[in-house]
Amino acid sequence: MSEWQQSWTDAAGIRSVRGLFRDAFGAEPHGVWASPGRVNLIGEHTDYNGGLCLPVALPHRTYVAMARRTDRRARLTTGLEDGRTWSGDLKEIAPGSVDDWVAYCGGPAWALRQAGVDVPGFDVAISSCVPLGAGLSSSAAVECAVGLALTHLAGCRRDRDDTGRAWLADVCVRAENEVAGAPTGGMDQAASLRAQAGHALLLDCLDGSVEQIPFGLEAAGLELLVIDTQASHSLADGQYGARRASCDAAARELSVATLREVTDVDAALARLDDEVVRRRVRHVVTEIARVTEFVAAAGIGDWTRAGQLMNASHRSLRDDYEVSCVELDVAVGAALDAGALGARMTGGGFGGSAIALVRSSSADAVARGVRQAAAARGLAAPVVHRATPSAAGECLIEP
């Protein structure tokens, strides 16, 4: 295996998805769209609490080739996993009627119709270099790329400004929550549709507003590594929903709409009886504060402080929120031992990926250290990516 895992170029993505479309449907697509996966710098499990998070879009993208049909049918084909196809009436794509990959790939068609868009029948092929099940939002990348394509074919170009992109991100969240049945917050879709290259996206989940935070690591001699532990994770399972439910219950107990409103963490904890719920709340409230501090530290180039905040975030996710796992803890520990400025699990947890902020000069040593530590523990070999903050989804070939 090569030392570093690369993302596809857009040219390679277009070639792949067009080939897939031609093989499946014997015709040329009308257009090609792409949308990226994401990695979150800090602010984990805060989005569904009205909090702050700070994702960057990855260079890894999902590519969608689509053609409009004259009837109301949909045909889906994907190169994901082993490659699969599905066809049916547009109306069959609805909550409870489709599951698994069809829900993710077709879900936006249902959510757009709910939002009043006259979605045409369509044929779609989907190819992706966003690692699957790695906590890098491969599902949001699919939804957002399909969402962009469908709005475009429906003649509704809401992607031209951030307001329209925020609307489309919400539509894709609805597809994920209601069609795929994963009770996620809005961070992933916002990152995939609203991020800018060279920037981190400061997302305020209370009102959906965003700020583009310059994140030029190269000039600072730094790199962001994404360590895919290969421990597969799934958000549709009960753990994520259980965390979300205990936050909602704590908010009710504290008589606040969301945990974002908690400003005095000690006073709030004193009002909660349950020890586990207290720890969940402590994570959320302190994590939201860490996002603000991280943005301030990054703004003045204080990367030592930024790294410390990442480490504190990991400890909080591991001990208070209890969403880490041995693979993530080993990766984070090894990255720090090998000289990373900071490291933490990223995304929903229970497997998936960690990130490490490193000096460029120590990137190789950190990648090596992480792999050696996994091997010493008998764990799967992690795959390490270099993450350049990249652009949001877009149309690559106009219909």
Place of tokens 């509704």: 156
Q: Which residues have CB under 8 Å from 129's CB, separation 6+?
A: 7, 8, 13, 60, 61, 62
Q: Shortest Cβ distance from residue 81 to ligand GLA (Å)?
A: 20
- How far is the CA of 350 from the CAs of 165, 173, 244, 323, in angstroms? 30, 21, 14, 5
Taking CB under 6 A as the criterion, the residue among 123, 143, 178, 188 binding ligand GLA is: 188
Place of tokens 């989907």: 126
Taking CB under 6 A as the criterion, the residue among 25, 47, 76, 78 binding ligand GLA is: 47
Q: Shortest Cβ distance from residue 138 to ligand GLA (Å)?
A: 11
State the alpha helices, DSSP H only, in 300-358. Answer: 303-315, 326-337
Distance CA 263, CA 265 (A): 6
Question: For ligand GLA, which is the closer residue by CB, 48 or 294?
Answer: 48
- How far is the CA of 346 from the CAs of 45, 49, 258, 319, 389, in angstroms? 10, 17, 22, 15, 15
Taking CB under 6 A as the criterion, the residue among 54, 58, 98, 187 binding ligand GLA is: 187
What helix, strand, coil percent values describe the chain, rounded to 5? Answer: 45, 20, 35
Q: Shortest Cβ distance from residue 219 to ligand GLA (Å)?
A: 28
Binding mask 91-130 for ligand GLA (x = CB under 6 A): ----------------------------------------
Whether residue 200 contacts residue 194, with contact meaning beta carbons closer than 8 Å, is answered with no
Question: For ligand GLA, which is the closer residue by CB, 233 or 371?
Answer: 233
User: Would you give the distance in Å from CA 6 to the centre of its chain?
Assistant: 18
45 binds ligand GLA (CB under 6 A): yes
Q: List the one residue out of 378, 48, 51 whose CA is nearest residue 203.
A: 51
192 binds ligand GLA (CB under 6 A): no
143 binds ligand GLA (CB under 6 A): no
Select from 66-74, 182-190, 300-308, 391-399 the region that touches ligand GLA (CB under 6 A): 182-190
Distance CA 179, CA 181 (A): 5
Binding mask 222-261 for ligand GLA (x = CB under 6 A): -------------x--------------------------
Distance CA 393, CA 63 (A): 10
3-state DSSP call for residue 149? helix
Q: Shortest Cβ distance from residue 43 to ligand GLA (Å)?
A: 7
DSSP state of 240: H
Catalytic residue positions? 188
Select from 13-21, 65-73, 119-127, 179-187 the region that touches ligand GLA (CB under 6 A): 179-187
Binding mask 12-41 for ligand GLA (x = CB under 6 A): ----------------------------x-
Binding residues (CB under 6 A) for ligand GLA: these are: 40, 44-45, 47-48, 184-185, 187-188, 235, 347-348
